[in-house]
Amino acid sequence: MKKLISLFLAAGMAMSLLTGCQSQPAKTDSVSSITAPEKDVEMQYMTVEEAHDLLNTDGYTFVDVRKAEDHDTSCVPGSVGIDMDAAKEGDFAAGVAAMQILTQTTDDNLVIVCYSGKSYAQATTNVLSALNYDMSKVYTLEGGYKAWTEAYADDVELSQEITAPEKDVEMQYISVDEAHDLLNTDGYTFLDVRKSADYNTTCIPGAISADMDAAKEGDFAAGVATMQVATRNLDNNLILVCYSGKSYAQASTNVLSAMGYDMSKVYTLEGGYGAWTKKYSSDVQMNSIVAPEKDVEMQYVSVEDASGLLGTEGYTFFDVRKAADYETSHIPGAVSADMDAAKEGDFAAGVATMQVATRGMDDNLVLVCYSGKRYAQATTNVLSALGYDMSKVYTLEGGFTAWSETYPENVEAK
């Protein structure tokens, strides 16, 4: 059915060009006689999960109403592209002309796919209503193509013209200091290409999420679909923010290059989000993690018991003192996670630091602070808010002071 519709659409457009000002067939209403509704027609929505279940089902046609070049780049598999950009911009007659052939060649249920399920879909709904299509059969994909690519990144149809480069495209870097100076500057967009779950926790203020995890794992088509939505109508300088400035940023750079983006405008944040939080821990945006109303109870481990766990698989020692003090001396093998800002009351900075430190980890954690009190308490509060398994979080009783007094020979000094 979808191939047949596409053929009808192509044939219809060809006939338009051939006939010029000749009258249309009798069953085609004059475009000028079809008027826009006085107010927006109410849309009915379909979730991406429901839509995915209906893909390739007889009686359902997916209609991609985004700009033609975006549909041609990547789209929901099998969808029919009908560019409704003019209609979205207020040219109702152009929208009627674009949609009229479809309404005369099918009576399927229509799933309208636009960018985010808003303006393009609304313009299309208004046109279909004016064309007297059965509106009980018209659905808007909730969240649009953006939601589709987030939920089904591996289920997109990619233009054959966009192929992965044979080798990695060279990245150009920008330091965290240079990037910080450009924050909120016109002409610069920060693209956070980490997993959306991590972006949803904390991010650089104003950064846009473009989850490139699938692309990093080798799914180039999914990366194109994601980046196409993220960069729509953009010709800004892009600053790619990944975890450490490596694999996620490289995958994004490869995709942007294949898409024809001006690569002189694409920069990778050197050291990634981890470097940002170390240098500008107070300058992060906390999205959904809130501080507990009261201090979370800590569970302790003695220095003797902790000594027996040092170097044991499944146990990570987190030194949450100031980074400068960690550099001077610390427990051998301990990982530095400076929580000074969190101890001073900056919960968002603490979340940013600990989110990076614990990414992909489910170890038992031994928190090492100065005396086993305030720094450890701030860290415990943050870990609890992040949803870490608190049965696995221990505070070193007496902190680094007790350790260095008990095991002065077992300290790594600068």
pLDDT at 363 over 60: yes
- Give the Cα-Cα-Cα angle 55, 59, 60 (nearest 5 degrees): 40
Residue 58 contacts residue 2 (beta carbons within 8 Å): no
Considering the chain, what is the average pLDDT of its residues?
A: 88
Q: Are 334 and 323 in contact (CB under 8 A)?
A: no
Write the Ramachandran bin of 322: left for phi over 0, alpha for psi from -120 to 50, otherwise beta: beta
Q: Answer positive or negative: Cα dihedral of 348, 323, 343, 298.
A: positive
Report the Cα 79 to chain-centroid distance in Å: 23
- CATH superfamily for domain 2-152: Rhodanese-like domain (3.40.250.10)
CA-to-CA distance for 201 and 183, rounded, in angstroms? 19
pLDDT confidence band for 209 (50 / 70 / 90): confident
CB 251 within 8 A of CB 215: yes
Assess contact for 319 and 379: CB atoms under 8 A.
no
**What's the fold here for domain 300-413?**
Oxidized Rhodanese; domain 1 (3.40.250)
pLDDT over 60 (residue 29): no
- When pLDDT is averaged across residues 137-158 and rounded to a whole number, the result is 90
What are 314's two structure tokens? 């499944």
**Rounded-to-integer distance, Cα 164 and Cα 252, Å:** 11
Q: Are 239 and 174 in contact (CB under 8 A)?
A: yes
Q: Average pLDDT in the 277-301 region? A: 88
Angle at 290 between CA 289 and CA 294, to 5 degrees: 140
Residues of the chain with CATH 3.40.250.10: 2-152, 173-286, 300-413
What residue type is 140 in one-letter code? T
Write the CB contacts of 317 (distance below 8 Å, at least 6 apart in sequence): 306, 310, 331, 333, 334, 335, 365, 366, 368, 396
80 to each of 5, 62, 77, 137, how far by Cα in Å? 8, 6, 9, 16
Q: What is the pLDDT of residue 296?
A: 96
Instruction: Kindly give, in sequence order, each residue whose CB lies less than 8 Å from that of residue 339, ignoring residues fewer than 6 positions away.
Output: 320, 321, 350, 353, 354, 369, 375, 378, 379, 382
pLDDT of residue 32: 56
Once rounded to an integer, what is the mean pLDDT over residues 360-385?
94
3-state secondary structure 43-63: CCEECHHHHHHHCCCCCEEEE
Give dist(CA 71, CA 81) in Å, integer: 6
Residue type at 298?
M
d(CA 85, CA 67): 6
Could you give phi then psi for residue 45, rounded to 5 degrees?
Answer: -105, 155
390: left (phi over 0), alpha (psi -120 to 50) or beta: alpha
What separation, in Å, do the N-terminal and C-terminal C-alpha atoms of the chain show?
Answer: 72
Integer CA distances (angstroms), 256 to 70, 110, 189, 357, in order: 14, 32, 14, 29
Q: Flag whether the pTM goes above 0.85.
A: no
* pLDDT over 80 at 232, yes or no: no
pLDDT for residue 21 is more than 60: no
Residue 265 has pLDDT above 50, yes or no: yes
CATH hierarchy code of domain 173-286 = 3.40.250.10
Number of neighbours of residue 297 by Cβ within 10 angstroms: 9
Which residue in the block uniquely carries the two structure tokens 């992909």?
Answer: 360
